[in-house]
Amino acid sequence: MFCLCVFLQLAALERQIFDFLGFQWAPILGNFLQIIVVILGLFGTIQFRPRYIVVYTVWTALWVTWNVFIICFYLEVGGLSKETDLMTFNISMHRSWWREHGPGCIRRVVRPSSPGILEDYSYVSVTGCIIDFQYLEVIHSAIQILLSLIGFVYACYVISIFMEEEDSFDFIGGLDTYSYRQPPQEHVELKPVKPVGKVL
């Protein structure tokens, strides 16, 4: 479980960095929750806390759903458009960081020539990308889904192990020094205790 959690954390942190660079606030929030819940699931596994692992499994189902939505968003499935500001909560005009900085992309900034346009405004032209940015986002989401499904199966396995251990525990005599498989000693040898008194 520890190695899986490390992979999940590294994948979420890598994605978090690039979403911060693109100012995509919805994925940033989702990645932050993913990081917290993975830590919670790891803690639950180490400390034998099934409730924390149940929280992790429920979150994993939501995380897979979110990543499926991101795939549909970037592939423009069902009327979704990657050109909208949905990922930035309509706060800013930023897009995916991979749009301008993908592998092989050549970024050119073209300043406006019209006198009525602000000096800060510029048009960015991107050419020569080996992989379009939407496919890079889809690959990131597919990796998250794959790791999350493995984590979900493993978490269900750990929960079942914890439940079996709770069922096999002898609650009546579980705190005694013997278990129900070993009968208690019939005779206990008692030794008298000599009182310690003052010697005159």
Give helix 2-21 / helix 25-46 axis angle, nearest 10°.
160
Q: Residue 58's pLDDT band (boundaries 50, 70, 90)?
A: very high
Phi then psi dihedrals of residue 62, to 5 deg: -65, -40
Calculate mean pLDDT across residues 182-189. Answer: 62
pLDDT at residue 85 in the model: 76
Residue 155 and residue 158: Cα distance in Å, rounded?
A: 5
Buried b (16+ CB within 10 A) or exposed e, 99-137: bbbbeebeeeeeeeeeeeeeeeeeeeeeeebeeebbebb
pLDDT at residue 127 in the model: 79
SS3 103: coil
Q: Residue 38's pLDDT band (boundaries 50, 70, 90)?
A: very high
- pTM score above 0.75: no
pLDDT at 147 over 80: yes
pLDDT at 196 over 60: yes
Q: Identify the H or E element spanning 108.
A: strand 106-110
pLDDT at residue 189 in the model: 72
Q: Residue 167's pLDDT band (boundaries 50, 70, 90)?
A: low
Residue 80 and residue 67: Cα distance in Å, rounded?
A: 14
pLDDT at 59 over 60: yes
pLDDT at 64 over 90: yes
pLDDT at residue 184 in the model: 56
